[in-house]
């Protein structure tokens, strides 16, 4: 009910209007500078990589556009940004407790981020009014911090932190259990965390990203929960939300090919009850479970490497 979720995702730039649009990339000579910005000659840099991609493309496989493939300098920059993101979350680990308002969490995020000369990516992003997303219990994601919202014993909360540092983006989130949380809710939080480990096993270059989503979905269903379909993960690093869209409910052997230099988030939203969600009419941001049951989410940012993955932000 409420807002249309596709429009919501398009507006928040979580998905591009046509993800299957074929991008025509410029053909380079062997002695030209590589398109990746490394400063090396094409033949010594991404030339054989491009030939490999062409083979996949000819087989009808969705291959990543150049603009989402990061060079070593960019990866270094994203790492620096992630240091700030992780420091913010580590601070929250120590300070979140019963009686704290979500506005206070926002204040902490804002001041720590500033201390590092960084910028909180959510603030003013497509009109988002605060520096961080705080999502309690039945709120799935994109909750807006407020003075009137006080953490109480038994709550579970996701705090989703995203940082811009020297133009590079990082994005990760953690769950916090406040006081005495029921065994039921604790298990939900644990399964959401474990699902990231499952997904990570499938992050390998030259494999399709759908394998990861399918594995997460299967794991979560086996544990009796559901996975939100309409909101997923995303490429990130040079912008807040880049391709690919990362689903956690898709069939295996589908979606974009993962290649070295891609950076994206793994952030499945796991519901205790049904997968259905709605967007609050009041603020246009807060996403709730339709059945009012709790939802949990952990988010990590990963880099695809030559032989697997590296976790950049967690
Ligand atoms: N980290 C969140 C996400 O990728 C941020 C959403 S945009 C915001 O979904 F404006 F709500 F912060
Ligand atoms: Co994200």
pLDDT by residue (tens digit) across 101-110?
999 999 999 9
Residue 22 pLDDT: 65
* Sequence-distant (≥ 6) Cβ neighbours of residue 123 within 8 angstroms: 110, 129, 130, 131
Residue 7 pLDDT: 86
Mean pLDDT confidence for 214-230: 98
Residue 23 pLDDT: 74
Q: Are the C-beta atoms of residues 266 and 211 closer than 8 Å to each other?
A: no
CA–CA distance, 314 with 299 (Å, rounded to integer):
6
Return the residue matching tokens 């705080």.
134
Residue 230 pLDDT: 95
pLDDT at 1 over 80: no
CA–CA distance, 244 with 234 (Å, rounded to integer):
6
275 lines ligand 1 (CB under 6 A): no
Give which of 273, 253, 265, 262 is closest to 303, Cα–Cα. 262
Residue 21 pLDDT: 61
CA–CA distance, 63 with 23 (Å, rounded to integer):
10
Q: How many residues are recorded in the chain?
A: 314
Tell me, what DSSP letter sits at residue 255?
S
Residue 143 pLDDT: 98
| CA 265–ligand 2 middle distance (angstroms) | 6
CA–CA distance, 170 with 237 (Å, rounded to integer):
6
pLDDT at 2 over 90: no
- Closest ligand 1 atom, residue 265 Cα: 4
Mean of the per-residue pLDDT values of the chain? 95
Tell me, what DSSP letter sits at residue 68?
G
Please give the span between the terminal C-alpha atoms of the chain, in angstroms, as a whole number. 32
Q: Are the C-beta atoms of residues 124 and 158 closer than 8 Å to each other?
A: no
pLDDT band at 9 (very low <50, low <70, confident <90, very high): confident
Q: What percent of the chain has pLDDT over 90?
A: 92
155 lines ligand 1 (CB under 6 A): no
Residue range 11-64, pLDDT digits in tens = 777 676 665 566 788 999 999 999 999 999 999 999 999 999 999 999 999 999
pLDDT at 122 over 70: yes
Min mean pLDDT across 16-20, 87-91, 192-196 is at: 16-20
CA–CA distance, 42 with 53 (Å, rounded to integer):
15
Give which of 67, 21, 66, 68 is closest to 47, Cα–Cα. 66
Residue 11 pLDDT: 78
Mutation test residue for ligand 1: of 162, 231, 244, 314, the one with most atoms within 8 Å of CB: 162
Give which of 308, 307, 272 is closest to 290, Cα–Cα. 272
Q: Which residues are 158's β-sheet partners?
A: 135, 175
Q: Are the C-beta atoms of residues 163 and 88 closer than 8 Å to each other?
A: yes
pLDDT at 194 over 80: yes
| CA 51–ligand 2 middle distance (angstroms) | 31
What is the CB neighbour count within 10 angstroms for residue 247?
24
Greater confidence (18 vs 67) lies with 67
Q: Are the C-beta atoms of residues 235 and 258 closer than 8 Å to each other?
A: no
pLDDT band at 217 (very low <50, low <70, confident <90, very high): very high
Q: Phi and psi of 79, rounded to 5°?
A: -60, -45
pLDDT band at 95 (very low <50, low <70, confident <90, very high): very high
Residue 17 pLDDT: 60
Greater confidence (15 vs 87) lies with 87
Mutation test residue for ligand 1: of 110, 128, 295, the one with most atoms within 8 Å of CB: 128
Residue range 140-151, pLDDT digits in tens = 999 999 999 999
Residue range 263-295, pLDDT digits in tens = 999 999 999 999 999 999 999 999 999 999 999
Burial of 305 (0-12, 13-18, 19+ CB in 10 A): middle
CA distances from 43 to 35, 52, 70, 203 (A): 11, 13, 18, 27
């Amino acid at each position: 009910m409420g807002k249309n979720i596709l429009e919501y995702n398009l507006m928040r730039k979580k998905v591009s209007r046509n993800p299957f649009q074929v991008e025509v990339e410029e053909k380079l000579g062997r002695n030209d500078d590589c398109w990746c910005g490394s400063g090396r000659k094409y033949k010594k840099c991404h030339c054989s990589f491009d030939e490999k991609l062409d083979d996949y493309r000819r087989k009808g496989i969705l291959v990543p556009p150049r603009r989402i493939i990061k060079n070593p300098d960019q990866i270094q920059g994203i790492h620096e940004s992630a240091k700030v993101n992780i420091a913010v979350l580590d601070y929250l680990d120590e300070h979140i407790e019963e009686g704290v308002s979500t506005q206070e969490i926002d204040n902490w995020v804002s001041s720590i981020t500033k201390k590092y000369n960084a910028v909180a990516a959510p603030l003013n992003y497509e009109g988002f009014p605060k520096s961080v997303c705080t999502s309690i219990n039945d709120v799935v994601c994109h909750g807006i911090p407020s003075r009137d919202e006080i953490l109480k014993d038994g709550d579970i909360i996701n705090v989703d932190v995203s940082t811009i540092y020297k133009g590079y983006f990082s994005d990760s989130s953690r769950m916090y259990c406040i006081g005495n949380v029921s065994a039921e809710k604790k298990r939900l939080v644990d399964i959401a965390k474990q699902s990231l480990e499952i997904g990570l096993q499938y992050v390998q270059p030259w494999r399709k990203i759908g394998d990861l989503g399918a594995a997460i979905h299967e794991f979560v269903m086996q544990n009796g929960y559901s996975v939100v379909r309409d909101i997923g993960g995303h490429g990130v690093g040079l912008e807040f939300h880049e391709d690919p869209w990362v689903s956690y409910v898709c069939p295996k052997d589908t979606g974009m090919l993962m290649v070295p230099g891609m950076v994206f988030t793994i952030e499945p939203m796991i519901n205790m009850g049904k997968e259905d969600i709605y967007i609050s009419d009041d603020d246009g941001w807060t996403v709730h479970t339709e059945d009012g049951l709790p939802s949990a989410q952990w988010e990590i940012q990963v880099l695809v490497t030559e032989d697997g993955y590296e976790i950049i932000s967690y």
